[in-house]
């Protein structure tokens, strides 16, 4: 074989080595040959009995080159489609930020502070408190005297028949006066009404506190949901990056003849699936941010990035929590306030059974002038003072009003009992959920270490050709699922603690003041 160039001799060596079953060395030597040989079908002068074999090898190599070239073109198109997909994902995920002037960060404490000031429901409840305070006055309770001022003039134009003929007569009647009245006794209705108005002020303040607590909890819930979607998006992006690397390796191996095209197609399917998951996660993140903006009272398209919450959950005792709920729980306090209002309404309805004693006084001026004259220079003066006692003995409605007031009072007592039972039940359920969430969180943290170790080992085995693509994909998905479940367990525990604060009346103090 001295007349054969070195690269042509390499062909014959590959064929002979292939007969020996050295597949990996064959693949390597074919790659060297593909870069050095133009695959010209030329017969060379070789030793006895070797010419036909050399020609066969050159012809086979030419066919092999056509197949490799076709595969390379397909793989090149596949790489181009991957780059197009990544460009689309990059454009889609960064488009909202491109049109925004600035993208800031938002902490949970900042979100809660903003919601407490700008939330529309809280503002409405605050206005209701102011209205209740304005109504809780002595005048609205009927405890202040009444003072009235009156002015009036009447012009009369009459035609009178006399012996001398018809005579026209014009007169002006003018009067002015001031009167005052005060109810001295009305069965204590005035005092009971004043107490009722102040109790309604307390109710409006409790309602404001309840709405504020609900908004603060909803804000925290929306913020944690935004964090969860943000973390999920990061996990899926990381998963997509791994799938992209795997797909590029599969394409390169297929180009070099070290793997079949089926493995590249399987990697492409997983890459497309992860790309769709990233798009869905980005949409979920945008929707979560829009819902939080709604709670905060911001523009819906306002952009920001949530910061992670690093919070250590306290240790609680159920008995102490129950006692705190019974003394500070806003919902229970509001029910007790409504019960007090019911008792005052019963007292007011019973006031109609008592007589009413009123004092009144008036002073007035009255004068009649001829022609059109509104002067009061020579007016008649009138001064009167009186004491009035009235007692309604029967009107057919007193008994019904008192009976209905007692029924409403009974309902308020039942509502207080129901609120107490419901609050204790919700508190125990939330406390149990918190204990469970902490246990699950600990298990998920241990599971994450195992899942990460499993993925690292499977990834190494996959690179060495020991593990299959199915095994690699399963370990990849399992790691992502464990990461997502760990995030859910952590935020679930946070929300359980916030719910405990809400039920025991501690949420405002712990979130706004500390």
235-260 per-position pLDDT tens digit: 999 999 999 988 888 888 777 777 77
Q: Is residue 82 assigned to a domain?
A: yes
410-434 per-position pLDDT tens digit: 999 999 999 999 999 999 999 999 9
307-346 per-position pLDDT tens digit: 999 888 999 999 999 999 999 999 999 999 999 999 999 9
Computed over every residue of the chain, the mean pLDDT equals: 79
Average pLDDT over residues 389-409: 85
Count Cα atoms within 13 angstroms, Cβ side, for 394: 1
Cα–Cα nearest to 337, from 453, 196, 449, 476: 196
Give the pLDDT band (50/70/90) at residue 229. Answer: very high
Is residue 111 located within the same domain as residue 12? Answer: no
Q: Is residue 74 assigned to a domain?
A: yes
Q: What is the pLDDT of residue 352?
A: 83
Average pLDDT over residues 122-138: 94
State how far the Cα of 371 lies from the Cα of 128, in Å rounded to an integer. 56
The total number of structural domains that make up the chain? 2
Q: How far is CA 224 from the centre of its chain?
A: 8
- Among the three residues 36, 65, 98, which one is the final residue of a domain in this structure? 98
Write out the two tokens for 114: 């903003």
Three-state DSSP state, 387: strand
Q: Is residue 1 assigned to a domain?
A: no
Q: Is residue 190 assigned to a domain?
A: yes
- Among the three residues 39, 65, 98, which one is the final residue of a domain in this structure? 98
Supply the pTM of this predicted model: 0.72
Q: What is the pLDDT of residue 377?
A: 63
Is residue 149 located within the same domain as residue 69? Answer: no
Domain boundaries, position 438: 105-512
Q: Across the beta sheet with 380-390, what order do the strands follow?
A: 146-162, 165-185, 356-370, 380-390
Q: What is the pLDDT of residue 333?
A: 95
The CATH number linked to 462 is 1.20.1600.10
Q: What is the pLDDT of residue 101?
A: 42
Is residue 75 located within the same domain as residue 112? Answer: no
Is residue 88 located within the same domain as residue 122? Answer: no
Is residue 169 located within the same domain as residue 224? Answer: yes
Is residue 229 located within the same domain as residue 283? Answer: yes
Is residue 217 located within the same domain as residue 307? Answer: yes
- Among the three residues 57, 78, 98, which one is the final residue of a domain in this structure? 98
pLDDT over 50 at 97, yes or no: no
pLDDT over 50 at 10, yes or no: no
Write out the two tokens for 394: 């029967």
Poorest-confidence range of 121-130, 373-382, 489-498?
A: 373-382
Is residue 89 located within the same domain as residue 127? Answer: no
Give the pLDDT band (50/70/90) at residue 78. Answer: low
User: Radius of gyration of the chain from Cα atoms?
Assistant: 46
Is residue 113 located within the same domain as residue 93? Answer: no
Q: Is residue 314 assigned to a domain?
A: yes
């Amino acid at each position: 074989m001295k007349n054969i160039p070195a690269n042509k001799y390499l062909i014959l060596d590959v064929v002979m080595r292939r007969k020996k079953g050295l597949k990996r060395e064959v693949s390597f030597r074919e790659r060297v040959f593909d870069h050095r040989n133009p695959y010209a079908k030329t017969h060379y002068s070789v030793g006895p009995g070797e010419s036909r074999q050399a020609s066969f090898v050159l012809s086979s190599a030419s066919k092999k080159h056509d197949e490799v070239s076709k595969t390379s073109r397909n793989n090149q198109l596949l790489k181009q489609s991957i780059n197009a997909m990544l460009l689309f994902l990059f454009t889609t995920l960064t488009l909202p930020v491109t049109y925004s002037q600035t993208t800031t960060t938002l902490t949970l404490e900042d979100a809660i502070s903003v919601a407490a000031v700008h939330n529309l429901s809280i503002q409405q409840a605050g206005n209701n408190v102011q209205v209740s305070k304005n109504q809780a006055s002595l005048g609205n309770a009927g405890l202040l005297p009444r003072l009235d001022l009156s002015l009036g003039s009447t012009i009369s134009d009459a035609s009178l028949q006399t012996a001398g003929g018809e005579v026209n007569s014009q007169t002006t009647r003018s009067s002015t006066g001031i009167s005052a009245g005060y109810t001295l006794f009305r069965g204590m209705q005035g005092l009971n009404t004043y107490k009722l108005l102040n109790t309604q002020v307390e109710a409006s303040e409790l309602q404001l506190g309840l709405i504020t607590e609900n908004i603060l909890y909803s804000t925290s819930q929306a913020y944690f949901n935004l964090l969860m979607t943000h973390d999920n998006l990061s996990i899926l992006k990381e998963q997509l990056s791994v799938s992209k690397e795997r797909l590029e390796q599969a394409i390169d191996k297929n180009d070099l003849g070290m793997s079949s095209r089926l493995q590249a197609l399987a990697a492409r399917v997983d890459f497309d699936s992860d790309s769709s998951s990233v798009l869905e996660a980005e949409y979920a993140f945008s929707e979560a941010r829009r819902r939080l903006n709604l709670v905060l009272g911001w523009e819906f398209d306002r952009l920001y990035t949530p910061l992670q919450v690093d919070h250590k959950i306290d240790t609680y005792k159920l008995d102490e929590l129950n006692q705190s709920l019974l003394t500070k729980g806003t919902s229970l306090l509001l029910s007790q306030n409504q019960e007090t209002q019911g008792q005052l309404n019963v007292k007011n309805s019973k006031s109609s059974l008592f007589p009413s004693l009123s004092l009144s006084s008036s002073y007035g001026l009255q004068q009649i002038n001829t022609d059109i004259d509104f002067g009061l220079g020579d007016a008649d003066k009138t001064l009167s003072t009186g004491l009035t006692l009235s007692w309604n003995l029967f009107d057919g409605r007193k008994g019904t009003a008192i009976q209905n007031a007692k029924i409403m009072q009974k309902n308020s007592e039942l509502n207080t009992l129901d609120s107490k039972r419901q609050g204790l039940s919700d508190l125990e359920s939330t406390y149990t959920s918190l204990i469970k969430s902490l246990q699950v969180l600990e298990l998920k943290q241990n599971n994450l270490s195992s899942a990460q170790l499993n993925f690292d080992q499977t990834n190494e085995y996959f690179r060495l050709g020991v593990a299959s693509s199915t095994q690699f994909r399963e370990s990849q998905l399992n790691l992502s699922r464990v990461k997502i479940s760990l995030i859910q367990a952590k935020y679930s525990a946070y929300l359980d603690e916030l719910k405990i604060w809400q039920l025991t009346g501690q949420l405002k103090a712990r979130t706004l003041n500390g």
